[in-house]
Amino acid sequence: MTDRFSILFALCCALGVFAQAAMAQDIPSSDRRSGAPDDPFDAEESVGNCVSTRQISATHILDDRKILLEMSEGADIVMHLKYQCPQLKFHDYFSYESTLGQLCAELDQITTRAGFHCDIGGFSKATLESESEQPSTP
């Protein structure tokens, strides 16, 4: 019985590794990050894969795919979602559960007020253009 279990376990592991390798080869490298060719995320302006949640002092939803993170230390950051996140801008609200005090691309997700879960695709430095998209506060 133990031998059968060991063989079955080994087969499942091998199948999982094979499936991951096959999927990675089928996705063009330009689409691995975003899943869409029209993604405005610029990898050259990337600020890493994770952001410390302790350093986020405020957030501003720019549209259904971008959120401006005001950082207490350093330059502001734009969080890019992997795909359009329905009703994100409309409700102007999101929540998240962080991994070890960080939000990480390709790992964490946000949740909208409507209950949609949206994957984080990456982070980039905020530009004057992205900051001008935020609503002015009195």
Domain limits for position 44: 35-132
Beta-carbon contacts of 130 under 8 Å, excluding residues fewer than 6 positions away, are 62, 66, 68, 78
Question: Is 2 or 119 the better-scoring residue by pLDDT?
Answer: 119
Residues 17 and 66 in one domain: no
- Which residue in this structure is represented by tokens 């950051």? 77
**CB atoms closer than 10 angstroms to residue 58:** 12
pLDDT tops 50 at residue 15: no
Residues 20 and 70 in one domain: no
- pLDDT score at 24: 33
- pLDDT score at 99: 75
- pLDDT score at 30: 35
